[in-house]
Structure 1
Amino acid sequence: MASAALLSLGLGACDGSGNQDSSGRASSVSTFTGLPGRPAPVLAVKIDNVPSARPQTGLGKADIVYVEQVEAGQTRILAVFSSHTPAKAGPVRSARESDLELLRQFGEPDLAYSGVQSKLQPLLEAAPLHARPPEKVPSAYSRDNSRPAPHNLYVDTGRVLAVPPSASDAPDIGFRFGDMPKGGHPVAERTVRFPVGRYGFTWSQDEHRWLVSMDGQAARTTDGGRLGAATVVVQYVKVRPSRFHDRWGAVSPYTESVGSGTAFVLRDGKGYDVRWKRGSAQEGTEFTTASGDRMAFARGPVWVLFAAR
């Protein structure tokens, strides 16, 4: 049924990149989700994820949700928006060195964040992205006084995207979408553990997506209900100490998203052991099955969790 619906929308001939159909004409398919959608500017937002920051706002609109380790074994989220953009997103928190490497594949995206380690500031300013912290776009940020600081800062995405120069439109970052590959094995749920905190993904046949939980609690947003993903990627990477540390002296981890390794992909109630490869920061990431074919993701939002190998 899904394949027939996609064919009726003119998506069945898509080459998998979401850029062209078989005739070579530009297609109206998001390179981030595989769903109908024309190219639009990319906005990345650093979102807090400690318990006091939940439920978040706007996260359900993200095309891609990256989860990375930060100080003291905790995690933080980098949400990437393009196909759909919420009115507000947050709570917004600080950027990390790893973000610069990860975001390089998106061209010159907008990056909304609040605060950065002082010695990292020059690197961030020199990076090929549009830094949009409160100091540069004060009218785009506001605090919710019903929540404790610093977990109460929110960004007005429309005001950020309106600041010139414009961010790059969504490029091809290596994701491929299509029918479920052969192989794999049934998976009802999967837990991804970090030194502090865990993420759970439970397959819902009724909703046809993976329902997200955080630390054993259903993950919800203030504006969109239960969080979920069509595809979940557990990408095993090297996590090493960076040159930077927080105000209390805790060293910031650096997540290496360039390189190669193994990953585990969840889609349509099944799990697949795959390999990943990203040759440089300018390139996207290729995911391949044991047969060497490109791993096809399910169409919809993608969660990528960078787990230490």
Structure 2
Amino acid sequence: MRRAPLTIISLLTATGLLLAGCGGGDDSADKPKAASQEVAASEEIASTWPLTGLPVEGDEDVAKTHPVLVTKIDNTYSSSPQLGLGQADLVVEELVEGGLTRLAAFFYSQLPAKVGPVRSMRASDIGIVSPADASVVTSGAAGRTIARIKGAGIQFFQEGAPGLSRDTSRSAPYNVFADLTTVAKTAEDDAARPDDYLPWGDEKDFPGGQKATKIAASFGGGHTTNWTYDGKGYVNENTYAAAGDHFPADTVLVLRVQVGDAGYLDPAGNPVPETKFTGKGQAMVFHGGKLVRGTWSKSDLKAPIKLSTKAGDLTVPAGHTWVELVPAANGNVTFTKR
């Protein structure tokens, strides 16, 4: 199902009276709403980007003519250097076979002309991309994964589609790259703003937490992603991204998730894991050199992510967020104060 069009609200008079529309059914309270900010009388109220919560500047239009394009990127030494991460709005790191990880990089506000290396989809991606009604850019997938992706109604573009090609200077299978400006032309959609991917909030509303400036997110023995807070944002200390093309993480959001068996083996004979991105689990929000603990919940694969603490709902300060889907059973997250 495609997204509903974004409604732009206008200020009617200088006295501050707003035109308020009637709400829908009771379930409308569960849908994330586009944030807005009040401005001077008779001026349009600016919207925010759905994948960062940041305000739209100048004459940019938040309702693009293409869907969110989630590109699957290899995250091993062989992927070096990764291209395009510096223009991503949001990144989700997920477990794949052999204890390694793969990146689901979300692009909407900017579309790089070369991103990759592009790798294959997993069934885990259904719960990751569905809340944004996103399309997936991929090198391909196992037959049963493609069947499940299609069954979930997710559009995808694989090798052979316009915009995907091989870089002959690299070795296969780490040589597939995507020009998202070309992919977007094929993926043209109604001009509509996707729902907010996370519950965005204001910096001043982020609760005070314990100091945490170094983070190690382990995915169960095969890979650990290390972060250091440098006073402005979080630096991925073992990234494979090209110099000057690192993801600018303002927040690192760790969600402890259940992992099952996807039911088949990869070409090397390793069982393929499947992240069960529904239900609830522990959440750790690292922002501004601080950690706030809470709980995440997701009622179904298409539902948005909700965050809470014992005090109530928890929001993520607007900005660029890297989401770590760390296995609850054998993964681990450690942090230090310096």
Question: What is the TM-score when the length of structure 1 is the normalising length?
Answer: 0.85
Preserved CA contact (<8 Å) 2:256 2:326: yes
Picking from 20, 23, 26, the partner of 2:36 is: 20
Residues 69 and 255 in structure 1, CA contact (< 8 A), matched pair in contact too: yes
After TM superposition, where is structure 1 displaced by more than 6 Å over at least 4 residues in a row?
Answer: none
Task: Indicate conservation of the 8 Å contact 2:88/2:247, yes or no.
Answer: no
The answer to whether structure 1 residue 302 and structure 2 residue 302 are counterparts is no
SS in structure 2 opposite 1:266? strand
Aligned residues of 2:35 and 2:53 also touching (Cα < 8 A): no
Matched, 1:229 2:254: no
Matching residue within 71, 90, 100 for 1:64: 90
In structure 1, the residue matched to 2:164 is 141
2:183 to 151, 155, 160: 160
Pair 1:220 & 2:241 matched: yes
- Answer yes or no: is 1:116 the counterpart of 2:137: no
* Aligned counterpart, 2:235: 211
Q: Give 1:140 deviation, angstroms.
A: 1.0
In 2, Cα distance between equivalents of 1:104 and 1:154: 23
Contact map agreement 1:268 1:298 (CA 8 A) in 2: no
Residue 254 (1) aligns with residue 274 (2):
yes
CA contact (8 A) 1:173 1:283 kept: no
Alpha-carbon distance in 1 for matches of 2:151, 2:45: 33
- Residues 203 and 262 of structure 1, relative CA distance in 2, 3 Å threshold: same
**Do residues 52 (structure 1) and 72 (structure 2) align?**
no
Q: Give the secondary-structure state (helix, strand or coil) at the position aligned to 2:317.
A: coil
Shift of residue 164, structure 1, vs aligned partner: 4.5
Provide the C-alpha distance between the structure 2 equivalents of 1:288 and 1:272, rounded to a whole number of angstroms.
10
Moved more, 66-75 or 98-107: 98-107
Give the superposition deviation at 1:219.
4.7
Aligned residue number for residue 129 of structure 1: 154
The 8 Å contact of residues 55 and 221 in structure 1, kept in 2 or not, is answered as: yes
- Answer yes or no: is 1:33 the counterpart of 2:58: no
C-alpha contact 2:251 2:285 (8 A) present in aligned 1: yes
Kindly provide the amino acid, as one letter, of the partner of residue 160 in structure 1: V
Q: Please, which runs of 5 or more residues in structure 2 have no aligned partner? A: 1-31, 57-61, 329-338
Distance 1:172 1:26, change over 3 A: farther
Instruction: Decide whether aligned partners of structure 1 residues 226 and 131 sit closer, same or farther in structure 2, where only a CA change above 3 A counts.
Output: closer
Secondary structure at the aligned position of 1:162 is classed as: helix
The alpha-carbon distance between structure 1 residues 54 and 97, as it changes in their structure 2 partners (threshold 3 A), is same
Identity %: 29
The Cα RMSD (Å) is 2.1
8 A Cα contact 1:266 1:272, kept in partner: yes
Letter in 1 for 2:199: F
SS of the residue 2:53 aligns to: coil
User: Would you say the 8 A contact 1:42–1:169 is kept in 2?
Assistant: no
